[in-house]
Amino acid sequence: MDPATSATPRARLTLWITIGVVIVAAILILASFLGHRQGTQMTQNLPSPTPVYATQGEVVPSFPKELILDPQASVQNSYSLNYSSTTNQYTAEWNSSTTMPTLFAKYQAYLQKNGWTIVNQITNYPALRGLYATNASSDVNVAITPLGGGSQATVSMVARE
C-alpha cells in the first residue's frame, strides 16, 4: 500500500469507534448533568478560551515557524487559544504556491523525520488532504486545500506541558 494513501481499514474503524465512544460518553455526561440540574436554573456559563490574534501577515509568538514548510508562504491568519495553564493551541493559516499533493508529501516527510507519529491521514477527498500527528508533548493537525495553482494550509499545534 502506498504510504500516501488513506489509513488502513482497521485504523479507520478504530477512529470511527473512538469518535462514537466519545459522542456517546458526551451524551451520557450531558444527560446526567441535566438530570441533576432539573428544576434549577443555570446561572453560570462555562468559560471558553478567547482567541488571541497575531498582526495580519504574522504568526502568534509561540507558533513553531518550522511548521510552515514554504519559505514564501503568505500568512493569512494566526491565533492562539489558552485552554489551561498547561494546554495551549497555536494555529496559522497560510497560502502557498506549492500544490496540495506536493505540500502534503512535504508534511508527511517532515513529521516523520522530526519525531512525530502520524496517527491519521486524510487522502480520499479530491479537495482536501489532512494529517494528525503527535509527539511526547504536542499534537499537530494539518489541513491542506487547493487554492488556484497552489494551496492553502491550516496548521494547528496543541502544546501540552
Q: What is the pLDDT of residues 54-102, one digit of tens each?
A: 999 999 999 999 999 998 999 999 999 998 888 899 999 999 999 999 9
How high is the pLDDT of residue 65? 93
Q: Average pLDDT in the 99-112 region?
A: 97
- The identity of residue 21, as a single letter, is V
Local confidence band at 114 (pLDDT 50, 70, 90 cut-offs) = very high
pTM score, two decimals?
0.70
Whether 35 shows a pLDDT value over 60: the answer reads: no
Q: What is the pLDDT of residues 139-157, one digit of tens each?
A: 999 999 999 999 999 999 9
Q: How many CB atoms lie within 10 A of CB 7?
A: 18
How many CA atoms within 13 Å lie on the side-chain side of 76?
A: 10
Local confidence band at 33 (pLDDT 50, 70, 90 cut-offs) = low
Whether 43 shows a pLDDT value over 50: the answer reads: no
Local confidence band at 44 (pLDDT 50, 70, 90 cut-offs) = low
DSSP conformational letter for 98 = S
Q: How many CB atoms lie within 10 A of CB 120?
A: 16
Residue spans of alpha helices (H) in the chain: 9-37, 100-113
Three-state DSSP at 54 gives coil
